[in-house]
Structure 1
Amino acid sequence: MVIVKDERMSRKRTYLMCPPERFTVAYAINPWMDTSAPVDAELALKQWQLLRETLTGLGHTVHVLPAEDGLPDMVYAANGAFTVDRTAFGARFRYPQRALEADAHRAFYAEQGWAYVEPTEINEGEGDFAYLPEAYGGMILAGHGFRTEAVAHSHAQEALGRPVISLQLVDPRFYHLDVALAALDDKTITYYPGAFSAGSQRVLAQLFPDALVADEADALAFGLNLVSDGRNVVLNAEATGLAAKLASAGYLPVPVELSELKKGGGSVKCCVAELRP
């Protein structure tokens, strides 16, 4: 008897992005940022536009949040909030250089008529939260250790009414959850174990025995900072090893080049917030 693997199914998504019109590396707040390395602003914008076109070409809707003066990291739109059921759990940034980004995101959700939860603790939005709608009735994986405070996880659980699993990040190179772990579909994840504490590694192995486990090379290539619709996986072009693993697992890798935006410590996912109605 021949067993045929179920075909991966894509699902239309809605995203929020912000163009890198003010992007530069003016300060260093993560290990990837080097203020002495110049940014090619024109190339950064072209790469961002290609990412946006890639997502719309896959059939997804992309809203654009206008860039604002004095906020060079605003291109990393995933950090501004985390959404579930048309409710935005707002961000409160760790570093003052990014604090005003939260106001721009709050205004966007108000304009769209979404409920908005004002944060009381430091958290950096979808940078440290991942959602799996089908896992255990709707599960939130939440990172802490560098940017988001662990106490924010319980606030998110109360505000969004979904179980939250706290995961401790221990490697400063992987300062946000979204550079160490990603949802591939509504119940499946990929992650790099070395980014997490020993206890968190055990939790992930228990909850997700069928996860696609990435290695350090995959993670350092920003491969886990990806966006997936359940079939098409948009990821950094440098992450060739992870792309091969994804293809073997039945996903369709869609590589994009984001060399300039990597200089700020982010790649595909950092630039893309998912809007979950």
Structure 2
Amino acid sequence: TLSKYAHVELLEPNALVPDLVFTANGASVQGRTCLLSHFRHIERQREEPLYHAWFYEHGYHVHTLPDDLFFEGSGDALFSQDEPHVWFGYGLRSDLKAVPYLESLFQANVTSLHLIDPRFHHLDTCLCPLNAGDVMYYPKAFDETSIASIEARIPSEKRIMVSDADALLFACNAIFIPDNTGTTHGIIIVNDLSSVLRQQLEKRGYRIETERVTQFMKSGGATRNLTLTLF
């Protein structure tokens, strides 16, 4: 499905690091700048040299973080589609101390959001920036201060709040691809979603593609978690 809308690069699998499949967590990338992840769990730290090698070999400027600072890439750092801005989730996997690095490297404003539900341990499982300032998110994954931050930045008509049922389908863990033809508001590739949410999104002009990834959901991720966008 993805290859219909975008060029796809493949990362060689490695039996010693099975979570390598969740490539969204490997780094944050914009242009040729790459901020490499430093995983909280030791098991995933074995992935770091593999990501470092891939980005270096493909000509990216690779930046690393101090050993005592945890940051899990585009799982927790989500770029807005239409401005130099990053939504950053912290509290479960990534550290708030990563914010200055994001601001400096990507020359972007950062909105920090505190994640409080361990079922949604990365920001990309509960928030998805879409086109023209639209944001799809699951409010119960955040503390009250973070909800206020979202509401302060995003007008009510641009907020798409998902239900408990859609959140558990990982509807927010969706791949968004801009439609350069201008015939739609963009393409959303998602594991699954309710008819109510589908209608909301289609009414706004989005094209919905479903790609069931239920086996990967057992490890807490869906379609977006399996991809890393290279701007």
What TM-score does the superposition give when structure 1 sets the normalisation length?
0.76
- Which amino acid letter does the alignment assign opposite residue 149 of structure 1? D
The 3 A distance-change label for structure 1 pair 261 and 239 is farther
Q: Offset of 1:259 from its aligned partner?
A: 1.2
Residue number in structure 2 paired with 1:57: 4
Distance 1:162 1:142 in 2: 11
- Structure 2 gaps of 5+ residues are 179-185
Distance 2:199 2:223 in 1: 18
On the 8 A contact 1:79/1:270 being kept in 2, the answer is yes
Q: Offset of 1:247 from its aligned partner?
A: 1.4
Distance 1:102 1:243 in 2: 36
Residue 172 (structure 2) pairs with residue 224 (structure 1): yes
Q: Among the aligned pairs, what percent are the same residue? A: 29
Distance 1:208 1:238 in 2: 23
Distance 1:122 1:89 in 2: 12
What TM-score does the superposition give when structure 2 sets the normalisation length?
0.91
On the 8 A contact 2:120/2:220 being kept in 1, the answer is no
Distance 1:256 1:174 in 2: 20
Distance 2:194 2:23 in 1: 22
Distance 2:196 2:45 in 1: 36
- Which amino acid letter does the alignment assign opposite residue 78 of structure 2? A
The 3 A distance-change label for structure 1 pair 186 and 101 is farther
SS in 2 for 1:252: strand
RMSD, aligned CA: 1.3
Distance 1:132 1:74 in 2: 25
Distance 1:243 1:133 in 2: 20
Q: How many corresponding residue pairs?
A: 220
On the 8 A contact 1:236/1:257 being kept in 2, the answer is yes
On the 8 A contact 2:92/2:118 being kept in 1, the answer is yes
- Which amino acid letter does the alignment assign opposite residue 169 of structure 1? L
On the 8 A contact 2:81/2:129 being kept in 1, the answer is no
SS in 2 for 1:63: coil
Distance 1:178 1:83 in 2: 15
SS in 2 for 1:113: coil
Question: Which residue, out of 115, 119, 125, partners 2:73?
Answer: 125
Distance 1:101 1:186 in 2: 34
Distance 2:93 2:14 in 1: 22
Residue 191 (structure 2) pairs with residue 236 (structure 1): yes
Deviations 1:243-269 (CA, angstroms, capped at 9, x unpaired): 232112221110111111111111001
Higher relative contact order (CA 8 A, sep 6+): 1
Residue 213 (structure 2) pairs with residue 258 (structure 1): yes
Residue number in structure 2 paired with 1:176: 122
Deviations 1:158-205 (CA, angstroms, capped at 9, x unpaired): 222211111101111111000010121263221111111101101101
On the 8 A contact 2:80/2:130 being kept in 1, the answer is no
On the 8 A contact 1:74/1:101 being kept in 2, the answer is yes
Residue number in structure 1 paired with 2:181: none
Residue number in structure 1 paired with 2:136: 190
SS in 2 for 1:148: coil
Residue number in structure 1 paired with 2:28: 82
The 3 A distance-change label for structure 1 pair 239 and 113 is farther
The 3 A distance-change label for structure 1 pair 256 and 84 is same
The 3 A distance-change label for structure 1 pair 101 and 241 is farther
Residue 12 (structure 2) pairs with residue 66 (structure 1): yes
Residue number in structure 2 paired with 1:37: none
